[in-house]
Amino acid sequence: MEKWKTIPGVTSVLGITYDVSNRGRVRSSKGKPMKRLIDEDGYFFVSLRKGDSNILPRVNRLVAQAFIPNPDNLPVADHKDRDKQNDHEDNLQWLTVKQNTVRDCARPVARLDPET
């Protein structure tokens, strides 16, 4: 079941707030779905108004902040399955920068053919 929570601390000059769902969707308080864009690293992000300026938060971080407890205040919202566009709450976890780097380095980049 899809659950929604208000994104704290993000309100436009006109008083519009935003909600994020546990499935990675974002909408304004007026019910308008926010278009997800893809950044240069392959992550979904949205353009939100905070005060009189725009912010561009990544959706995985918004979902993690809203739905995943982070008692140790870890800084990285990581995708468990390595799919940068799977922003469902069940696929996210909090890691340290070091843990995230180790995970990235442990992933094979290419398969070598010993015959060539």
- Residue spans of the domains in the chain: they are 4-106
**50-68 as b/e: b if 16+ CB within 10 A:** eeeeeeebbbbbbbbbbbe
Instruction: Supply 95's token pair.
Output: 């890691």
- The values of phi and psi at residue 27, to 5°, are -140, 160
pLDDT per position as a tens digit, 13-33: 999 999 999 999 999 999 999
| CATH level 3 topology of 4-106 | Homing Intron 3 (I-Ppo) Encoded Endonuclease; Chain A (3.90.75)
pLDDT per position as a tens digit, 37-69: 999 999 999 999 999 999 999 999 999 999 999
Which residues are CB-neighbours of 53 under 8 A, at least 6 positions away? none
